[in-house]
Structures are given as C-alpha cells and as structure tokens.
Structure 1
Amino acid sequence: MHYTGINHLAMATRDMDTTIRFWRDLLGMRLVAGLGRPGYRHYFLEITATDMIAFFEWPDVEPIPPKDHGVPVKGPLAFDHVSIGVRDRNDLWAIRDSLEAAGFWVSELIDHGFILSVYSFDPNNIAIEFSCPVPGVDIRSHPVMADKHPSAVAREGAEPRPGIWPVPTPTPYAERRVYPGEGRELMLDGDE
C-alpha cells in the first residue's frame, strides 16, 4: 500500500457559511468543491496539494461541547483534535495573530520538543492545532519511544509487522467494480 496523506477529514456543521468564513477566509484554505441538495451540503477545503478538510452541513447537528486538547474524557468520543501542519513558526504566528484578531481563543506557541504548536477551536467547537517541525528534529526518520511502560505491541517497534493479519487474496481484475456515488456531479459538464 502507498499512502499519500489524508485525502480529507470529514467533519459536521450546522452553519456552512460560518464554517467557510473561518476555514477559507480566516485561515486561507481554498474551497475546492461543493456538493448539495436541500438539507445536505458537503464542501471540501484544500489544506495542501494532497490533503483536504471537508464539512457536511446538516440542519439538526449541534456544535460539540468544547473539550480541551489532549485532556482525557469518559464516554463516547470520535477523536481528540486535528493538527494541521504548517511550514514554520512564522506561519504559526500568522495563524495565531489572525485567530486572535478575529476574536477566537488561541493558545500561546507551545514547544513540544519535536513540533511547535498553537491550539484553538473552529466555530463548531472542533479542537484544532497547527504545528510546525522543530528544525533538526525528525521523529519520522528516527522513531522515538519515550513511554517508560509501553504496551507489548508498541515494544515491537515502528515498522509494520507481517503475519499479524490474514494475507488477503487480491480481487481478480475481472471482478473489480466501481460504483457511482456522491460527487460525480462535480465532473459533469454544465450542459448535462
């Protein structure tokens, strides 16, 4: 398998216009696609050439309760926060200044040793982080396990372990089918 990044993270909003104003106009992400019909919208914003964030607009969804980044909770939870990478600390300062000027809470710059980060929330109370690498530190090239009591599986190391899961039987080319789904209308000629 060859991964290329996060194609898109799909979130939910009740107010697409406010969401677009935040992600496109405040944070500078391009709105690259939009699907819609009464009671439903699905819009995509470009983070990088290979990564997007997307939002479904559903009229009955409510913003999630605010939850501080990385603070343990009890009960159902899908994810803690999303961290979006930026080039360097100048980008972090620009994001921090923009969020603060627009009246959004935003943290100070935090040095995690391998990344620098600022934290905030979008209008849907989605916990977001913006991070840049610390120059000269690359945990992807040199994985580090600082947990003093890692689980047995974590002690096996960074690389994927063969033989853990059944070996798949490849679907024969003659049996490979692709079915139509939402979004095909983005590629249709306007005359159709």
Structure 2
Amino acid sequence: MSTATGINHIAYCTSDMKEQLSFYTEVIGMKLKALFWMHGIPGAYHAFMEMSPANCMTFVFHPSIKDKEAVMGVSHVPHTVAMVPAGVTQHIAFNMESLEDLQALIERVRRHGYNISDLIDHDFCQSAYMLAPENVWIEFTVTVRDFQDVDIDDEVVSLCGISPEELARMREPDLNAQPDEARLAHAKAQSEESQKRMEQLINTLQQQGQDGYQKEYKHGK
C-alpha cells in the first residue's frame, strides 16, 4: 500500500541541546545517531536519537529559541489531560515492547531522580507518564490488545459529523479515489497558505545572504 508506514522522526525545539541529549540517552536509553548543522537555517543544528532503525526522536537548536517564552495552555500543556490550541502537541507516546520493559524503564527513570507515574490501565494499553525537560509531557505505553470495532464509538462518530459512508471510507481508504469539490477547494486553500509561508522563508533566507533555496523550498513549482 502506498501510504506512510510510521513516524520517521518527530522534532522539538530546544534551548539546551545537551540537556535533551543527556535525558533521552542516559535516562530513556535512546542512542545518539546524528548531530549536525541544520540544512538551510543558519545557526541551527539538529540531533537524532534512535528508538528503532526507522524511528527517531529529534531536537532542533537555534540561539533565538532562548528568547521565546513557553506559555502553559498555549504552547505547552500543564498536564497530560489539558487542552491546547489546535495543531499544538499535547503529548507524545513511546512504544515499549513489554510490560517488563516498561516497568524497568519506570525504575530507571526514578533512579535518575525524575518523577514518573505508576502504570495506568487504558484497557487496550498500559502506560506511564512523566514531564520531560523543557515541559514536554511524554508517555511510555505497551499495547495489550488490538483495536476492535467497539473502539469506534457511535456517539463520538456522530459528534464529529461523520456519516456512515464517510466512516466506511475512513476505515478502508481508497487511495485512488478522487476528492470531492469541497475537499479539493479546502486542500488548495491550505496549499496556497503554505506556499505563501514558504515564499516568506525564501525571502528571509535571501536577505540573510543564503543562496540556493529558491528551488529547494518552492513547493510544487
């Protein structure tokens, strides 16, 4: 099937790269695989820590990040069930292979002086939660059963405004289907907005004397 097969990496900004690398390598146990200057952004660098051969946790550093204020309830959640504006990360969950592995991680985290919850039973998974450096809430989870039909709640489906026909398509997507006119118009509007932001990025880079990004960052041209 021609679709995404997982998350290659997720990137967070950081004002202290060493602290993040120390936490995720020494406490969580990920391996540092790359630490290099970030392409196209003067003064920024990027770190990759491996969870598995195809999945990484990454951080981006730039000196300007120190001047940006984190605002609870806006840029960050104060706790794992708090809400933030649309598009903002609420929390990130890391997969663990077994409950034994998860319990061992809980003990290691506590040994390093960090607070982490006991196991919380979510029915289909069991999880532990903690606050990582720079106010990022993270979850470690073990799946204990596959999702079933009962996990798609009829009431929630209705509240989302999803019709039975739409639900059927969502559960078994036809990757060759043609979008309807409304969805196509929505996608084009969003693409125009993203292109406008890319144009602003190109202009900024050019003003900074950075050459060669006109072609690279101009999507679809």
Q: For this structure pair, what is the TM-score category when the shorter chain's length is used for normalisation?
A: 0.7 to 0.9
Residue 26 of structure 1 aligns with an amino acid whose one-letter code is V
Q: For the Cα contact (< 8 Å) 1:44–1:53, is it kept in 2?
A: yes
Q: Give how far 1:98 is off.
A: 1.6
Q: Is the partner of 2:110 in helix, strand or coil?
A: helix
The residue number in structure 2 matching 1:148 is 155
Unmatched tracts of structure 2, length 5 or more: 185-214
**Range moving further from structure 2, 45-54 or 60-69:** 60-69
Q: For the Cα contact (< 8 Å) 1:4–1:50, is it kept in 2?
A: no
Q: Give how far 1:154 is off.
A: 6.9
Work out whether 1:118 is the aligned partner of 2:128.
yes
The residue number in structure 2 matching 1:190 is none
CA spacing shift, 1:49–1:142, aligned 2, 3 Å: farther
Q: Is the partner of 1:47 in helix, strand or coil?
A: strand
Q: For the Cα contact (< 8 Å) 1:114–1:138, is it kept in 2?
A: yes
The residue number in structure 2 matching 1:27 is 28
**Percent identity between the aligned chains?**
27
Distance 2:12 2:32 in 1: 15
Distance 2:161 2:216 in 1: 43
Among 56, 78, 83, the alignment partner of 1:72 is 83
Q: Is the partner of 1:9 in helix, strand or coil?
A: strand
Among 94, 101, 117, the alignment partner of 1:107 is 117
CA spacing shift, 1:142–1:126, aligned 2, 3 Å: same
Greater helix share, 1 or 2? 2
Q: Matches of residues 32-111 of structure 1 in structure 2 within 5 Å?
A: 32-36=33-37, 39-62=43-66, 64=70, 65=72, 67-73=78-84, 75=85, 78-111=88-121
Residue 152 of structure 1 aligns with an amino acid whose one-letter code is G
**What CA deviation, in whole Å up to 9, does each residue of 1:84-118 have, x standing for no partner?**
10101111111211222222221111010001100
**How many positions carry a matched residue from both structures?**
165
Q: Give how far 1:147 is off.
A: 5.3
Distance 2:94 2:163 in 1: 25
Residue 5 of structure 1 aligns with an amino acid whose one-letter code is G
Length-normalised TM-score, structure 1? 0.74
Among 145, 167, 172, the alignment partner of 1:159 is 172
Give structure 1 regions of 4+ aligned residues with deviation exceeding 6 angstroms. none
**What CA deviation, in whole Å up to 9, does each residue of 1:104-133 have, x standing for no partner?**
221111010001100112112111101111
Q: Give how far 1:76 is off.
A: 6.2
Q: Is the partner of 1:17 in helix, strand or coil?
A: helix
Q: Is the partner of 1:61 in helix, strand or coil?
A: helix
The residue number in structure 1 matching 2:4 is 3
The residue number in structure 1 matching 2:143 is 133
Q: Give how far 1:77 is off.
A: 5.4
Higher relative contact order (CA 8 A, sep 6+): 1
Q: Give the aligned CA root-mean-square deviation in angstroms.
A: 2.6
Residue 138 of structure 1 aligns with an amino acid whose one-letter code is D
Length-normalised TM-score, structure 2? 0.65
CA spacing shift, 1:149–1:97, aligned 2, 3 Å: same
